[in-house]
Chains A and B, each alone.
Chain A
Amino acid sequence: MKAIIATGIASLLVAGAALGPSPEGGSFTTLDREAQPFRAAFNEDAGKVRFVMYVSPTCGGCLRGADQSQKHILDRIDSDDLVVYVVWAPKNGAREEHVDRVTKLVTDRRATQYWDEYGAVAAPFDEMLSLTGPCAGTFMLYDGEASWEAGAPPEPVYWEDAHALELGRDGAPQFDPEGFAEKVLELLGG
């Protein structure tokens, strides 16, 4: 009896570890106060569809969104006309030490990952998208024409929010990776 109970509890506790992401990991670059080198990369990739994940490394919903993006969007769409930026934001109590292990969630060759040390990206995104609550968790698409000229990043042509329902944010629909993949394909032209 005791052994069965202990086994049940232990199984639940290790379930997360058993269903994990690939051990291959990503590296990340720390952004400066001018959001460089993210801003430069964004502008250099003009002409391509740009997929920006604005996520917190300490938020379950953000991590789930990043994981789903890899599995349901990036694994499905192999186009070289798509580039991906993952911006890990200092939100929800996150610090740089939390970033390393979560970069392993997005392993796509087209993805570049950043740590927004000074909130140079987080603050303008929060204001632009009217994000309330402690988490980031937005997934944004830019077409080939978008250019980041001013201080704040440009407005996305389409975005979804991993916390729309949970936090009652009504600026964008709840993140749905399958539907989002369709939007990516639409922007890629088929």
Chain B
Amino acid sequence: MRERILNMGATVGSVAAGITSTAASICCIGPLAIALLGVNGAILAAGIKPYRPYLLGGSLLMLGYAFWRIYRPRASADVQTCSVRAGRWSRLVLWAAAVLWVLAVVIQIAADRYWLSGIG
């Protein structure tokens, strides 16, 4: 049970951090930001924008931890532990979180280079 809770916590944490990082990255990219986040979401995202490096770093750590929890080598039978296999959904959500994290980084770089540096 504890094993399941840890796997779930790491996965959900990774997803939350991935979504937050992505939202912070797109908060100022023109009408897209308002379309995706709404007015209130864009305001919230702008508020957390200064913390993007910490969010990305923290979410990377959580992702690493979640991957380790889910894909680490199983304990062998001779130590008589009951290994709990991570479910398909956990793995799916974890990979989605990883994709979100990469997306957040790509958006961040693209926005800084091509959007926010432009002359308005």
- Inter-chain contacts of A185 with B (CB < 8 A): none
- Inter-chain contacts of A93 with B (CB < 8 A): 30-32
Asked whether any CB of chain B lies closer than 8 Å to the CB of A189, the reply is no
Interface residues of B in 21-51 (CB under 8 A from A): 27-28, 30-34, 37-47, 49-50
Query: Would you give the 0/1 interface string for B8-27, flagging 1 where the beta carbon is closer than 8 Å to chain A?
Result: 10011001100110000001
A17 and B93 form a contact (CB under 8 A): no
Asked whether any CB of chain B lies closer than 8 Å to the CB of A9, the reply is yes
Docked CA distance A103–B62 (Å): 39
- Inter-chain contacts of B119 with A (CB < 8 A): 132-134
Say whether chain B's binding surface is mostly helix, strand, loop, or mixed.
Answer: helix
Number of interface residues of A (CB under 8 A): 43
B116 and A166 form a contact (CB under 8 A): yes
Which chain B residue has the least Cβ–Cβ distance from A93?
Answer: B30
Partner of A165, one of B50, B115, B117: B50
A61 and B28 form a contact (CB under 8 A): yes
Known: A15-B44, A133-B116. A5 touches B39 (CB 8 A): no
Chain B: interface residue count, which band? 35 or more
B16 and A16 form a contact (CB under 8 A): no
Known: A2-B89, A16-B37, A58-B30. A92 touches B120 (CB 8 A): yes
Which chain B residue has the least Cβ–Cβ distance from A65?
Answer: B46
Asked whether any CB of chain B lies closer than 8 Å to the CB of A33, the reply is no
Docked CA distance A131–B30 (Å): 17
Which stretch, A41-49, A94-102, A152-160, touches the partner chain B?
A94-102
- 15 A-B residue pairs with CB within 8 Å: A8-B15, A9-B15, A15-B41, A16-B39, A20-B40, A59-B30, A60-B33, A60-B43, A60-B46, A61-B49, A63-B46, A67-B43, A126-B120, A132-B120, A133-B117
